[in-house]
Every structure is written in C-alpha cells, then in structure tokens.
Amino acid sequence: MTRRLSQPQIQKVFHYIKIGTSEVRRVKNLYSERSVVLHPEPIRLGFLDYVVAMRALGYEMVFPDLKSPTSSSPLGDRLYDELIAGLHQAIPDAEERKKVGTTSWGIRALRRARKSTATRSRSPTCCRAS
C-alpha cells in the first residue's frame, strides 16, 4: 500500500517550553501564554537531562535560584541583585561604578555590550543570542 502526501509517516518530536500562569508567575495577558519550541543547542548541551535531574530532586521550577525565598518579588530580580552585588565587588569605586550603571538598566547595558562585543569578534550566532 502506498501512502499519500496527506498521510505522512514521518513524525517529529519537538521539545518545547510552555509559558503561562503558574503558582510562582503570571503572564501579562492571555496572548502571552504560548509554547516555545526548544532550540536544538540546549538539548545537545544536556538541558533535558538537567530537567529530569531537577524533577528527581523534587524541584518544581527549572531554575529555582531565580525565585527569592524571602520575598514575592518577580522572578529574575534576585539575579539582578546578585549581579549588582558582584558589580560592587568588581568595581569598588562608586564613581567608576556610576559609569557602568548599578540599576537594572545598567545590567541591561552590560548584557547588550557583551552581545555587541561577541558580534564584533564574529562569534557564532548561537553564542551571542540574548
């Protein structure tokens, strides 16, 4: 029996991340809820094994360190706080630190500068994604 193109035999499995409201996070609106296909590079680097290991350890979040254990601040704020603390340690002089910026805007500028440097140095696209 021959198959028609309307009856394909090939089935591909796509791993994806579902973005939506949960116990620890909300989305801005209904249109923000979506499924995002996972790029092959994190899979190649062992992300799926990491997720399995985190589940085995009893964690409910993929990156539990992003949630502050002492407040209800948005996810990611803890990361910025730790980056700013590291910035204070790396650049002790307050005047020099002002040139870099110590707000979340300054951290964003640091991230963009890193990406620009990677682009200028002709790093592969996969290594310079935001």
Looking at every residue in the chain, the average pLDDT score rounds to 74
What was the pLDDT predicted at 74? 62
What was the pLDDT predicted at 76? 58
Residue with token string 């910035």? 87
**pTM attached to this predicted model:** 0.51
SS3 assignment, position 109: helix
> Which of the listed ranges 16-25, 50-59, 76-85, 102-111 does the model predict with the highest average pLDDT?
50-59
Region of residue 23 (phi > 0: left; psi between -120 and 50: alpha; otherwise: beta): alpha
Q: What percent of the chain has pLDDT over 70?
A: 61
For the stretch 8-64, pLDDT in tens is 556 678 888 888 887 777 778 888 888 888 888 889 999 999 999 999 999 888 887
Contact assessment for residue 90 and residue 84, using Cβ atoms and an 8 Å cutoff: no
